[in-house]
Amino acid sequence: MANKNMVRKWIYFCCSSSIINFREKLRERTGLLEWNWNIFSRTIFFGCYHIGDYIRILLHVGPRKVFWTGSDILNLTPFWARLLSRGRHYCENEVERRALRVRGIDAEVLPMIFTDFESEECFLPARKTHVFLTAHEGREKEYGIPIIVDEVSRECHKTTFHVYGVSGRSRRNVIFHGKVSEEQFDREIRAYHAALRLNEFDGMSEVVAKSILCGQYPISKIIYPHIETYTDTKDLIRKIRALEIKQFPNQERIYWQTLFECNLQILLT
């Protein structure tokens, strides 16, 4: 966790308006001052989604870093990639790095969590398994909600699936919580066994990060070190069923605690 009492006055950050909900989190997590067209400063640009982001980065004269956060990569054209390539670039997994490389940008992989999440160990074995996942309205397919509701939940009878962020009709062993505050979300997920992240293109999801930091056993479609992944729906069902026999907290949480802190320091160097 960044020392909030030591503001790094020689480095600034700029957050894209497309991920504006992360601005205060970034301020708290990094201890940086917000960029205000001080174009000669050392600056980290988080998110590069639209023409406004492109112009700010191009007009910045001083040392710059660009941290790509997910779908901004999919919007990037080779033309803009050539213009934006100066400076150091970061992303959060190999899927993103390959997509950037195709567009002409070489990036370093730095998985991050930008929330000061209290990562206490809280995994407890239980007779019934509970897992959770999130989605955005209108993008349920991207987040794998239909697969969970229509296929996986039918095969994993001993597991309860908690869906946050979207509304739906709760049925059998699927509970739709809808939109809740981050405080409520953080409180409730601590009682679960694992996060599911079915997105095929994604940054380092806070869902996965919070789950592993709690000593849970998250399952991700995208490969990360020491985090379970799966190849197809049948494999996902097997991995979820395997959660039933977990008796102890996932000690890989220590690896990820250390990695997140080391990566933050690399980014701020």
The pLDDT value recorded for residue 119 is: 67
How many helices (H) and strands (E) are present in the chain, helices listed first?
A: 11, 12
Q: Which residue has the tokens 């494999």?
A: 235
Question: Do the beta carbons of residue 109 and residue 94 sit within 8 Å?
Answer: yes
The pLDDT value recorded for residue 1 is: 44
User: Which residues are within 8 A (CB) of 211 and not within 5 positions of it... i.e. 6 or more apart?
Assistant: 132, 189, 192, 194, 195, 217, 218
The pLDDT value recorded for residue 5 is: 40
CATH of 8-110, one of 3.20.20, 3.40.50, 1.10.3470, 1.10.3450: 3.40.50
Q: Which residue has the tokens 């809280």?
A: 122
The DSSP letter of residue 171 is B
Domains 8-110 and 129-255 share a fold: yes
> What are the extents of the domains in the chain?
8-110, 129-255
The pLDDT value recorded for residue 4 is: 46
SS3 of 63-92: the string is CEEEECCCHHHHHCCHHHHHHHCCCEEEEC
- Name the architecture of domain 129-255: 3-Layer(aba) Sandwich (3.40)
**11 DSSP β-pair partners:** 42
Q: Which residue has the tokens 């996986």?
A: 152
Whole-number Å distance between alpha carbons of 24 and 32 = 11
User: Which residues are within 8 A (CB) of 269 and not within 5 positions of it... i.e. 6 or more apart?
Assistant: none
Residue 142 CA to chain centroid, in angstroms? 15
pLDDT in tens, the chain (269 residues): 444 444 455 799 999 999 999 999 999 999 999 999 999 999 999 999 999 999 999 999 999 999 999 999 999 999 999 999 999 999 999 999 999 999 999 999 999 998 877 767 677 777 789 999 999 999 999 999 999 999 999 999 999 999 999 999 998 899 999 999 999 999 999 889 999 999 999 999 999 999 999 999 999 999 999 999 999 999 999 999 999 999 899 999 999 999 999 999 999 98
